[in-house]
Structure 1
């Protein structure tokens, strides 16, 4: 698999690298022309009104953004030389075609493609073809770039029997390229097993179990980009959403999809989804576990339906000189029928007056009258009917319902009977009742309960596709909240059971997918690590038997001798600062990760040493290559070099040892090129 660099090839007309550079320049020119064509569109006489004009202008603006030529992002990263024209009858000996594979489609003035979108079917062999199965590809070429300039290429002759399979140097260099700034796409380095997940259909949900460095987050984001390409019209109507664990994580990944030309995908945390009340309180771990238990859904359902009572008085509707009487037993039958249908509480509340009005209309018709729909609507608004509805099926505010459950011991006991035991009920009851919803001092777990109650009242809007990252940390009730957002769509669930660090972290994907409402989702496991060096992941994997027995360790494909450095010290602050200095001598980013309680002391030590640093999520800033990361926010982030301060403090900062070991496992596996561990306290015994 020869690699050709610019300095190895003479500069002449027949120089392959010169031809590739010429094609790159021509492609950039074609992309610029495509953008100018859109910018020059005159829509003054196209639309019928100002509303349509505004919509069209917004669509044109989005198209212009999507056609931006990002100087730091290569326009194409590969080339495929097919033996035959794709789709042609091979018996006809159709001449092969050449395709350049890139992040977006580019065509010339005649409409002929100069760069093919990586998501197109003709591009798939770039990721899937091999010497054993060349997929009619004679040559696969990868390109290397330096500062946006094409500087090298590497060829694989897939049908040449003399060709031996080797690790691609350009592929390895791209994986190991320094990580300064936010997360970048992996479109040039997607592996076959990752590509199969990326291109799985929209109709089914997929769950990806992947250890550190296996690329599960990138796979999920590229799957969104692929689905938007393959099902753009459908997803434009139904919407897509990426859900991450916190704002820092979302800031870190927010540039991946725009770099692939996708600008419309929204991002949120689970807390954002359920932000119906102001969050100002916190729960104990025990209370949060009970509130997050799926059994709470049935408690809420019982409490809500308890507001419905069967009528014991008839309804008398007066219209003009006539009085129409609906006996109590018939009203009770109507209410019972709605209860048996088990439709949303609010929908039944709205249907009840129409059902009563229909019963009145039946009597009017029996009396010889000919009422129409307008009469039925008028009867449904009659004061007598409204009184029956108010007494029988009253409107319920979800927040007030949850507040009553958490404050009224008797009300909770009635509706939690046989579901929560006495100790669990006591755990979630408030010591002091709140005066109102606004002053209730809600917690995040409370907000999820309110969201559940809200869905029992009125159906939550469903999106076409949702990506849920770091899913192992969600409670069953949080899974239900996410599942409501894709009840008629599909989901991509990403996570690692070994990295679950909440008291309610899931122990199995089958259970999690059940709560999500996607029990039929396909579960895939990624075990090949491309980010974390082999020496580092092997060291971190010593923790697995103690925190996630039975889970397969990641097998890293990257060797980086000397990537692990363990330093004992008598001055942990000074040792951490010195380790950061050593790491910053290398190109790329450095993350100083420490137990949350150690962050103030380390911040002071860095300031005293004159070392500027960033907070997680600020990596787009050019002010510093050093980020000070609380261990609680490290999940999902990655840095070229990591300095881990006091592993024992990371473990001790969690409520129990198992959670602490998982938090330590996360911190140990954030490094791409090197890890320095500094400690004064003895290392956790599980690392021995």
Structure 2
């Protein structure tokens, strides 16, 4: 893919410092506005007509099953055609020139046609919409003018034109381009209220390259904070479902996120784009082979997450195939048919080398043994047919013999055996797992680290079905065994892998995307795999990202520092106090009345104490946890540090960074956790500390 462009950033919205004012005004000619508002009213009427037509269709398909499938299809179609009165059906327009003349295309979240089938609004995912995102002065792609709209409460309030036609550019005294688009900046900087929004109106060229990558391509996105990598991944899912719907509607698309709070935060994006069939899940939910009842110490969890556990488990599974020491004897009628042990062993060896799963090979064994018996019958002059072979394969002697040499296994039994015996592990590793090993599968107290091991064994026994495409977010935090489990779900499909090495906070956080992709079953050197690096940050202001970037040399040596493309530096206040809790309450009180949301990020063990102090001060708030994102109806949110990843707030108050970093198992992961929480702010960051600031944050 081409390298991301180095265009200058969009400027801030009106009301920011004068030095950052963009060139050119926001044009609001009444005649143009009236025409666009009329087109919006027409588009809403046509969308309502399309929905009413869908609801009027019958679901009589000839039989009950087909009728039910058709009814569901029509219901999904009608749901996708629902209008959202809080926004507009289109956010932009391009005026193009071509061989047949000029054309105007309104670009929106879904396709809208009139009764004759002519487009009123063009879906942003259609090929003809691509120039809206990628056209520029050096390559206008046939676009004369790009128009953006200001929207408030579902009503068009302003419009702004960017001319790409050279003749018109020569006539413009102060042309407005994408880099100077005040409406674009206003949309990017809009307060963060409620769940994550779609970014169809603000997708940048380098993001659009990722969104529209072919379905057969696995994309890995290394994205600095605020570069929009999560939104890009979700919009890629929407584009793939549009461009390859027949293929992916059968094979499926899955979004995997770090926790349930994160998924609730991003869960409204795809429905807002008309896609309601994509499943969202966490890694733990995806691998829910057992109920989690305990927590492993970091040393044990790290061992269980290592990639070599895959070989240990494979050896353990196949070690259950026992050598044939006795012949197979099958009585039938007045005869006893005998297959020598060496012939049975040849069958066992051949099945083991076929490359099939343990369970599939076990299912083949009765037929193979029955075939050997039939050969003995034929040598004796009989003429058995397929019915005889089926009967022999199901006979009690064959069933008992298969059970003896190729026993049936369960994932829980195999893992309990490995952890209980230490089979395949070094002596020091055996010491780690023995104390916590289950005495039996039924009494096992499984941990989160056991879930990918159970999934690995399950796949060794029976092949895991593959999906068409998997979106994996915060991938830097997954262990090799977790990555293998996710990769199995895309064994015959592709992935979009999203993450930031600098934000890895688990003991097994990756240091290399090539390594992570390998565990996912993809080769970074393959032509169908690409690594894309996003460094232009649209969300985090320059002063905040600059402060957090002090940590990069220690947490991710060699990783390029992110570049904030917002001229407004934002607000940064590093505030020493005598009491961190009281200081946090004071800091929240100062910003609680500002527009947008406030995130109060604290060490996990401080949640109750800080929450009580906020309540005592009359500051209503919601507590976000890993299982639930809250209703997010109140402006102030109390956020445990381990839940903050992937979330964003207009104002952020980080409480006692030293205690926050100290809660992690080692210094490096503590600084990485700190880097994560410092980069959650969209407009302003307040750091409240009574202890000295850790690492480079205390310097200068």
User: What is the TM-score of this pair, normalised by structure 1?
Assistant: 0.94
Decide which of 602, 610, 623 is 2:610's aligned counterpart.
Answer: 602
1:543 aligns with 2:537: no
2:268 to 252, 255, 272: 255
State whether structure 2 residue 323 is matched by structure 1 residue 310: yes
Structure 1 residue aligned with 2:145, among 139, 159, 175? 139
Instruction: Report the CA distance between 1:215 and its aligned residue.
Output: 0.5
Q: Tell me, yes or no, if structure 1 residue 20 matches structure 2 residue 33.
A: no
Shift of 1:377: 1.4
Distance 1:623-1:190 versus aligned 2 partners, 3 A rule: closer
Q: What pairs with 1:32-181 in structure 2 (closer than 5 Å)?
A: 32-43=48-59, 46-84=60-98, 90=99, 94-160=100-166, 161-162=169-170, 164=175, 165=177, 166-181=179-194
2:410, 2:118 → 1: CA distance?
Answer: 59
Q: 2:358 aligns with which of 338, 345, 350?
A: 345
Between the aligned partners of 1:575 and 1:167, the Cα distance in structure 2 is 39
Mapped pair 1:621 → 2:631: yes
Deviations 1:401-446 (A, max 9, x none): 111111224xx2xx33xxxx32122222235x53432321110111
Question: 1:319-338, CA deviations, whole angstroms, 9 ceiling, x for partnerless residues?
Answer: 22232211111001000111
Residue 5 (structure 1) shift: 5.1
- Does residue 686 of structure 1 match 2:691? no
CA deviation string 1:201-257 (max 9, x = no partner): 011111000010001000100000000001101111111100000000000000000
Alignment partners' CA distance in 2, 1:332 and 1:213 = 60
Compute the RMSD of aligned alpha carbons: 1.5
SS at 1:581 equivalent = helix
Residue in structure 2 matched with residue 505 of structure 1 by the alignment: 509
Q: Which of 210, 231, 237 in structure 2 is aligned with 1:218?
A: 231
Contact 2:416 2:439 in 1 (8 A): no
Q: Check the 8 A contact 1:249/1:637 in 2, yes or no.
A: yes
Verify: 1:440 aligned to 2:456, yes or no. no
Partner of 2:427: 422
Q: Select 1:578's aligned residue among 586, 590, 594.
A: 586
C-alpha separation between the residues in 2 aligned to 1:438 and 1:666?
40
Q: Residue 634 of structure 1 corresponds to which residue in structure 2?
A: 644
Once the two structures are TM-superposed, the CA of residue 181 in structure 1 deviates from its matched residue by 0.4
User: How many residues are treated as equivalent by the alignment?
Assistant: 663
Correspondence for 2:667: 657
SS of equivalent residue, structure 1 residue 341:
coil
Go from structure 1 to structure 2 and tell me whether the alpha carbon gap of 1:252 and 1:562 turns closer, same or farther (over 3 Å shift).
Answer: closer
Matches within 5 A, 1:211-610: 211-409=224-422, 412=423, 415-416=424-425, 421-431=426-436, 433-519=437-523, 520=526, 521-610=529-618
CA distance, structure 2, for counterparts of residue 386 and residue 122 of structure 1 = 62
Gaps of 5+ in 1: 85-89
Distance 1:609 1:551 in 2: 42
C-alpha distance in 2 between matches for 1:51 and 1:655: 54
Displacement of 1:664 in angstroms is 0.4
Which SS does the other structure have where 2:352 is aligned?
helix
| 2: CA distance, partners of 1:341 / 1:152 | 66
Measured at CA, do residues 110 and 562 of structure 1 come closer, stay the same or move farther in structure 2, by a change above 3 Å? closer
Contact preservation (8 Å) 2:600, 2:638: yes
Deviation, 1:364, is 2.6
The DSSP-based 3-state class of the residue aligned with 2:622 is coil
Secondary structure of 1:234 counterpart: helix
CA distance in 1, matches of 2:428, 2:259: 32
Does the CA contact (< 8 Å) of 2:649 and 2:680 recur in 1?
A: yes
Q: 1:471 to 1:562 in 2, by over 3 A?
A: closer
1:623, distance to aligned residue in structure 2 (A): 3.8
Cα-to-partner distance string for 1:155-197 (whole Å, 9 max, x where unaligned): 1110224365442111110000001000011111000000000
Q: What is the CA distance between 1:288 and its match in structure 2? A: 0.6
Alpha-carbon contact 1:181-1:620 (below 8 Å) kept: no
- Unpaired stretches in structure 2, ≥5 consecutive residues: 1-22
Measured in 1, the distance between the counterparts of 2:113 and 2:287 equals 44
Find 1:671's aligned residue among 660, 681, 685: 681
Q: Which residue of 2 aligns with 1:87?
A: none
User: Aligned partners of 1:56, 1:32: CA distance in 2, in Å?
Assistant: 21
Distance in 2 between residues matched to 1:588 and 1:656, nearest whole Å: 35
Q: Does the Cα contact within 8 Å between 2:26 and 2:182 map onto a contact in 1?
A: no
* C-alpha distance in structure 2 between counterparts of 1:466 and 1:622, whole Å: 28
